[in-house]
C-alpha cells in the first residue's frame, strides 16, 4: 500500500534511538523529508547518518524538550530547512522519581514536563506550520501505562494526560484539518533500551514477565510501533482522529516490577 507520504515533511522528537529512531527511518523509507531532535549529540549524529543513507532531505538539532525556546528553535529550524511541517511525532518520554508517594513534587512535575508538556509545547510550536497544509497529522507516543495500573503513578498519570490531550486537540484542531492521535506501546525491546538492560540483569524476572503478561511470550519491537505511527501519519488513516491505539500484543501488566516488589 502506497501511503502517499513521499515529499512530506515529518518531525520526530527523540528521534535518535528506540521507537523514535525506528519511526524516523520508516518515514524516510516512505520518502519523507525528516527532522529529528535528541538530547545527546553523538546519538543524534549517528541517527542522521543512517537517515541520510535513505534520503538527502534530513535535518537535526540537539534539543532539550523541557526547554520551550529550544523546542521552538528545533521546529522553526526544521520548517525553514525542509519547507514547512506536514507531520509531527511527539516521542520523548520517561519517568523521574521512585514509588508514587515517595516521589517528590519536583519529581512529579519533572515527569509531567518530560511527557505531557513536551508534547504540548512541541505541538504549539508546530501549529502555525501544520495549519498551512491542506491536511496534517500529529501522533503522540503515550503508553499502556496510561490506563493499565503499575508502580510510579507519576509516569502513568503523565501518559494518561497525553491520551486526553490528543482526544481534546482532535476536536480543537479539526477545522484546520489536523488529526491528532496517540499510540500506546506496550513493553518494547531494542538494543540499549531499558528492557534490554532488565533482560541482561534479571533474566529470571524477565522470563516470568513474558510468561505472565505477554500472550505471545515476547516483547514488542520498535519497528512494530513505528509501522503503526507511520500509517497514522498518512492520509490512508484520514478517518482516524482522537484515537488511542494500543500496540502491546494484548499485554497484561505494564511492568515486570509489580506493587510491593523490588
Q: Would you state the cell numbers that stand for residue 94, as one nine-digit string? A: 520517561
Q: What is the pLDDT along the chain (262 residues), one digit of tens a residue?
A: 899 999 999 999 999 999 999 999 999 999 999 999 999 999 999 999 999 999 999 999 999 999 999 999 999 999 999 999 999 999 999 999 998 899 999 999 999 999 999 999 999 999 999 999 999 999 999 999 999 998 899 999 999 999 999 999 999 999 999 999 999 999 999 998 899 999 999 999 999 999 999 999 999 999 999 999 999 999 999 999 999 999 999 999 999 888 766 5
Q: What architecture does CATH give domain 9-247? A: 3-Layer(aba) Sandwich (3.40)
**φ/ψ bin of 70: left (φ > 0), alpha (ψ from -120 to 50), beta (otherwise):** alpha
Q: Which residues contact 155 (CB under 8 A, 6 or more apart)?
A: 94, 95, 111, 115, 143, 145
- Please work out, in degrees rounded to the nearest 5, the angle formed at the alpha carbon of residue 95 by the alpha carbons of 91 and 101: 150
CA 107 to chain centre: 21
Spatial separation of the C-alpha atoms in residues 155 and 226, rounded to whole Å: 22
Instruction: Find the helix or strand (DSSP H, E) in which 11 lies.
Output: strand 9-13
129 given a catalytic annotation:
no
Q: Which residues contact 197 (CB under 8 A, 6 or more apart)?
A: none
Reported pTM: 0.96
Residue with cell 511527557: 115
Catalytic residue among 155, 198, 206, 209: 155
Amino acid at each position: 500500500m502506497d501511503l502517499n507520504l513521499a515529499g512530506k515533511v515529518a518531525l520526530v522528537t527523540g528521534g535518535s534511538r528506540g521507537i523514535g529512531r525506528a519511526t524516523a527511518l520508516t518515514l524516510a523509507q516512505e520518502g519523507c523529508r525528516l527532522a529529528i531532535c535528541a538530547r545527546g549529540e553523538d546519538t543524534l549524529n549517528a541517527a542522521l547518518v543512517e537517515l541520510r543513507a535513505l534520503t538527502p532531505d534530513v535535518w537535526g538539532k540537539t534539543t532539550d524538550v523541557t526547554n520551550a525556546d529550544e523546542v521552538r528553535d528545533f521546529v522553526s529550524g526544521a520548517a525553514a530547512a525542509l519547507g514547512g511541517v506536514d507531520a509531527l511525532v511527539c516521542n520523548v518520554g520517561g519517568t523521574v522519581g521512585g514509588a508514587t508517594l515517595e516521589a517528590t513534587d519536583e519529581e512529579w512535575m519533572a515527569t509531567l514536563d518530560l511527557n505531557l508538556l513536551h508534547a504540548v509545547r512541541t505541538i504549539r510550536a508546530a501549529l502555525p506550520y501544520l495549519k498551512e497544509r491542506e491536511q496534517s497529522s500529529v501522533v503522540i507516543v503515550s503508553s499502556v501505562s496510561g490506563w493499565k495500573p503499575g508502580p510510579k503513578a507519576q509516569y502513568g498519570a503523565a501518559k494518561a494526560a497525553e491520551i486526553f490531550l490528543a482526544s481534546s486537540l482532535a476536536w480543537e484542531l479539526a477545522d484546520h484539518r489536523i488529526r491528532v492521535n496517540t499510540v500506546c506501546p506496550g513493553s518494547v525491546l531494542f538494543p540499549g533500551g531499558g528492557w534490554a538492560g532488565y533482560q541482561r540483569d534479571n533474566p529470571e524476572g524477565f522470563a516470568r514477565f513474558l510468561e505472565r503478561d505477554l500472550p505471545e511470550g515476547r516483547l514488542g519491537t520498535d519497528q512494530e510501533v513505528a509501522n503503526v505511527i507511520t500509517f497514522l501519519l498518512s492520509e490512508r488513516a484520514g478517518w482516524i482522529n482522537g484515537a488511542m491505539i494500543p500496540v502491546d500484543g494484548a499485554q497484561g501488566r505494564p511492568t515486570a516490577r509489580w506493587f510491593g516488589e523490588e
